[in-house]
Amino acid sequence: MKPGQVYILDGSDLSLYTGVTSNLENRLDQHHEGCFRGNTHSRRPVKLLWNSDLMDIQDANLLGEPSKNLGRPKKQAFIAENWITLQIPARRKNPEPGKTFALDGSCTMIGRSNGNDQVKVPHRSTDSRKLLL
C-alpha cells in the first residue's frame, strides 16, 4: 500500500487549491518554491488549510478528484465537515433559460403564449443519464 493524502491550500488571492500527494511536506515545499507552473505558482505564498489522514493513494485520489472541482464555499464546507452544505446543488453560472429539471429526470419547459404569459408544458427528458447523489 502506497500512502497518500488529500490537502487544500489557501492562495494569496484567497483561492483554494486541492491536491493529492504521497509526501505532504515535500509537496508543500514544492508549492512554496513555485515548482509547479500551474494554479499555485502565481498565488504564492500558499497556506495549508486542511489535510486528510494517511490513506491508500488510490483512496486519496478518489476523495481528492471530486473536491478539486468544488468552488470556494463548498471547499470551506468540506474543511468544516459541513455535509449538509455539500449536498446543496451549486448554482449554474449560465443556466439554460426556460428549462427546469426535477430529481426524477423529468423536465418542465417554460413556453410563451401571449407576450409575457408563461405556460408550463410537461416534458419528459429522453436523456438516459441518471443523477447520482
With 80 as the cut, is the pLDDT of residue 17 above it?
yes
> Does 98 or 24 have the greater pLDDT score?
24
Q: Residue written as cell 419547459?
A: 109
Average pLDDT of every residue of the chain = 77
Residues 51 and 111 in one domain: no
Q: In CATH, what number is assigned to the domain containing residue 23?
A: 3.40.1440.10
pLDDT digits 0-9 by tens, 52-85: 999 999 999 999 998 888 889 999 998 998 888 8
DSSP H or E segment with residue 79: helix 72-79
Residue 52 located in a structural domain = yes
**d(C-alpha 84, C-alpha 66), whole Å:** 16
Domains in the chain, number: 2
Provide the pLDDT for residue 20: 96
Claim to verify: residue 96 and residue 82 sit in the same structural domain: no
pLDDT band at 44 (very low <50, low <70, confident <90, very high): very high
* Domain annotation covers residue 133: no
pTM higher than 0.95, yes or no? no
Residue-number span of the structural domain to which 32 is assigned: 3-87
Phi, psi of 122 (to 5 degrees): -60, 140
Same-domain status, 55 and 111: no
What pLDDT score does 18 carry? 95
What confidence score (pLDDT) does residue 130 get?
Answer: 42
Q: 107 and 83 in one domain?
A: no
Does 38 share its domain with 103?
no
Please report the pLDDT score of residue 92 as a whole number: 62
Cell, residue 9? 491550500
Residues 24 and 73 both lie in one domain: yes
